[in-house]
Chains A and B, each alone.
Chain A
Amino acid sequence: MKPVRVLVRRPWRAAAEASALLVAAVVAFPLYWMVLSAFRPAGEIESDEPRPWTLAPTLDSFRRVFGQQDFGRYFLNSLLVAGTVVIASALIAFLAATAVTRFRFRFRTTLLILFLVAQMVPVEALTIPLFFLMRDAGRLNTLASLILPHIAFSLPFAIWMLRGFVKAVPEALEEAAYIDGASRTRFMWRILFPLVFPGLVATSVFSFISTWNDFLFAKSFIISDTSQSTLPMALLVFYDPDDPDWGGVMAASTVMTVPVLIFFVLVQRRLVSGLAGAVKD
């Protein structure tokens, strides 16, 4: 698909491109500053005249971060929580989206509306009942207390988004598969699943982000066993509001942001086409 560029007159395009580059620079600046500060020697960050470069890049801050007890563990915990949520919610949402698009059954519309309404529930408001739920189930201070709620919160949006992708797969294809002797399960996993995979990637971005970002649940549910904590909490070890260790904070921030950046760049194309597929519906 070609972008709609036909309508632009030439002098305008030059101005548009200049402003696009300028905006890109402004938007990227905080990230640049974060990485820069992570590599700065301690004295340089706290200088009155901040320069937008460094003459003596050092790994000191990173050493301090990884020397911090359990930081590697926090990192693995975060990966484990986000990875489990992404995979589980993608699979569950795929099954549910297939059910609501390729079958007609009673309460189908009711369910769809319920999934839509479920998206509006402010999950943070559920911190209190979830806290008691996890406590009664003996799951406080475990990664499960972070994984399970995030699966639930990712689902409604994922189902709605995937619906468009499942719908876009022609029914003739399904019939052809059955004529060729494929079972329903075989059709689901061998034909439908690869076809809606771009949609799964797009939805996984959302579940990954919201889980990787989670601060409130980690703060509320992981209270005594800090070895079960996640990166956002680890970051705050270095951030004392009165006297922050900026080098440590920025190094930890860099470590925390880079995996997401890599993930985003990897799925970039699929994300855009995925959103396009979801909105076309």
Chain B
Amino acid sequence: MSGTPAGAVRRTRSRRGPAHGTPRPWPDRSLPWIYLAPALLVLGGLLVYPVWQLGLISLLEYTQAQVSGGEPTSFRGLGNYRELFGDEQFRQVLLTTVLFAAACVGGTLAVGCGLAVLLTRVRALPRLALMLAALGAWATPAVTGSTVWLLLFDPDFGPVNRVLGLGDHSWTYGRYSAFLLVLLEVVWCSFPFVMVTVYAGIRAVPSEVLEAAALDGASQWRIWRSVLAPMLRPILAIVTIQSVIWDFKVFTQIYVMTNGGGIAGQNLVLNVYAYQRAFASSEYGLGSAIGVVMLLILLAVTLGYLRLLRRQGEVL
């Protein structure tokens, strides 16, 4: 960033003298903090403090008895974590969540980037059609999308089974087909963000650069790999991180489409599991510990990714 507007302003003002300018009630030094105050207040109270509380509760024995005041709150140390990692079901859910999120992120990025490139290859009308359809999917709330996809894949009167000739095959019954159904819905409603962002990024690349590369005899693939991809890397970083964050904590789709985690919990992911433990079984300490595990995994993934980018010479 070049120059400081604050400094520039100070010079201008002093030359003109205070009589002409409006009186400044605050000195320049505190002004940025005044602008930041509302944001810091809200973030401090509703993000930082809850994160701290989450960590704290995760170290406590905190169930309905403690919440209602029937029993004193006791410190468990890492007891909740030990209980979690000793639990076969939790380890299973953890692994499932990671794999499911990875599949969702992969699918979303592949579809989103592929269609973004496709958008640059077509004339205005098909582009508008695809853009509007994608905006429609993007605009669909998660609950709505979940129920609509359930209807589409309904064994008795969904059109998909008819078209595919699957008879009354139930998609939500089997573990993998239920996950596949949720995955399709998740990709459907989250690829538009990737598509629109990457498309905006490609459009921002000056066409002279691409023409020059083409004139120099670079192949399509070469142009993509050596010209576009490096210029798009910061955007790809943003959409990847956002997708990881969104898909790792999918709640609504799983909750609605598999009716709270599938038959015998076969489709549980961490978020739904934490909700069930905390609010259905009132095990708030355990639920918080699951929250902390999620938080740590997301932080690790994102920081690792940022470091990788920095090593490649990108400053985010």
Instruction: Judge if B188 is at the interface, Cβ distance under 8 Å.
Output: yes
Cβ A232 vs Cβ B141 within 8 A: yes
Q: State which of B36, B188, B196, B252 has its C-beta within 8 Å of the C-beta of A272.
A: B196
Cβ A120 vs Cβ B151 within 8 A: no
Instruction: Judge if B49 is at the interface, Cβ distance under 8 Å.
Output: yes
**Known pairs A122-B249, A128-B284, A215-B252; A209 contacts B139 (CB<8 A):** yes
Chain B 197-226: CB-based contact to A (< 8 A → 1; otherwise 0): 101111111010011001000001001000
Please indicate which of the listed interface residues A2, A3, A209 has the most CB atoms of chain B within 10 Å of its own CB: A3
Chain B 111-126: CB-based contact to A (< 8 A → 1; otherwise 0): 0000100111111001
Instruction: Judge if B132 is at the interface, Cβ distance under 8 Å.
Output: yes
Cβ A276 vs Cβ B200 within 8 A: yes
Please name all residues of chain B whose beta carbon is closer than 8 Å to the beta carbon of A167 when the two chains form the complex.
1
Q: State which of B6, B24, B43, B57 has its C-beta within 8 Å of the C-beta of A155.
A: B43
Chain B min CB distance to A159 (Å):
7
How far apart sit A116 and B316, CA to CA, in the bound complex (Å)?
10
Instruction: Judge if B5 is at the interface, Cβ distance under 8 Å.
Output: yes
Please name all residues of chain A whose beta carbon is closer than 8 Å to the beta carbon of B207 when the two chains form the complex.
2, 4, 6
Cβ A33 vs Cβ B159 within 8 A: yes
Cβ B122 vs Cβ A13 within 8 A: yes
Within 8 A of A (CB), among B225-275: 234-235, 238, 241, 245, 248-249, 251-252, 255-256, 259, 271, 274-275
How far apart sit A246 and B156, CA to CA, in the bound complex (Å)?
12
Cβ A130 vs Cβ B46 within 8 A: yes
Cβ B139 vs Cβ A155 within 8 A: no
Cβ A16 vs Cβ B122 within 8 A: yes
Known contacts A28-B132, A155-B43, A209-B139; can you find 18 more A-B pairs with CB under 8 A? Answer: A3-B203, A20-B118, A21-B129, A24-B129, A27-B130, A30-B188, A91-B38, A103-B6, A126-B51, A127-B274, A129-B53, A151-B42, A152-B43, A232-B143, A241-B259, A268-B131, A279-B197, A279-B201
Q: State which of B5, B20, B130, B279 has its C-beta within 8 Å of the C-beta of A103.
A: B5
How far apart sit A95 and B37, CA to CA, in the bound complex (Å)?
9
How far apart sit A92 and B291, CA to CA, in the bound complex (Å)?
28
Instruction: Judge if A133 is at the interface, Cβ distance under 8 Å.
Output: yes
Ranked 7 nearest A-B pairs via Cβ: A125-B291, A129-B53, A152-B46, A276-B200, A99-B35, A183-B22, A96-B39
Chain B 140-166: CB-based contact to A (< 8 A → 1; otherwise 0): 111111011111100011110010000
How far apart sit A129 and B9, CA to CA, in the bound complex (Å)?
44
**Known pairs A31-B140, A126-B47, A257-B144; A17 contacts B123 (CB<8 A):** yes
Q: State which of A5, A48, A212 has its C-beta within 8 Å of the C-beta of B121.
A: A5
Chain B 1-39: CB-based contact to A (< 8 A → 1; otherwise 0): 101111111001100100011101000110111011011
Please name all residues of chain A whose beta carbon is closer than 8 Å to the beta carbon of B13 when the two chains form the complex.
178
Cβ A13 vs Cβ B121 within 8 A: yes
**Known pairs A13-B121, A34-B144, A215-B251; A272 contacts B200 (CB<8 A):** yes
Cβ A151 vs Cβ B46 within 8 A: yes
Instruction: Judge if B84 is at the interface, Cβ distance under 8 Å.
Output: no
Instruction: Judge if B93 is at the interface, Cβ distance under 8 Å.
Output: no
Cβ A263 vs Cβ B139 within 8 A: yes
Instruction: Judge if B294 is at the interface, Cβ distance under 8 Å.
Output: yes
Cβ A250 vs Cβ B151 within 8 A: yes
Cβ B38 vs Cβ A92 within 8 A: yes
> B-contacting residues of A (Cβ < 8 Å)?
1-8, 12-13, 16-17, 19-21, 23-25, 27-31, 33-34, 37, 45-50, 52, 91-93, 95-96, 98-105, 108, 111, 116-133, 148-149, 151-153, 155-156, 159, 167, 171, 174-175, 178-179, 181, 183-184, 186, 209, 212-213, 215-216, 220, 231-232, 235-236, 239, 241, 244, 246, 249-250, 253, 256-257, 260-261, 263-265, 268, 271-273, 275-276, 279-280
Cβ B291 vs Cβ A33 within 8 A: no
Please name all residues of chain A whose beta carbon is closer than 8 Å to the beta carbon of B238 when the two chains form the complex.
279
How far apart sit A7 and B302, CA to CA, in the bound complex (Å)?
35
- A258 to chain B: closest residue by CB: B139
- A20 to chain B: closest residue by CB: B126
Cβ B220 vs Cβ A7 within 8 A: yes
- B274 to chain A: closest residue by CB: A125
How far apart sit A155 and B38, CA to CA, in the bound complex (Å)?
10
- B35 to chain A: closest residue by CB: A99
Write 6 A-B pairs (CB below 8 A) sorted by A numbering: A27-B188, A33-B159, A95-B35, A128-B291, A250-B151, A276-B204
Instruction: Judge if B94 is at the interface, Cβ distance under 8 Å.
Output: no
Cβ A49 vs Cβ B21 within 8 A: no
Please name all residues of chain B whose beta carbon is closer than 8 Å to the beta carbon of A133 when the two chains form the complex.
46, 49-50, 53
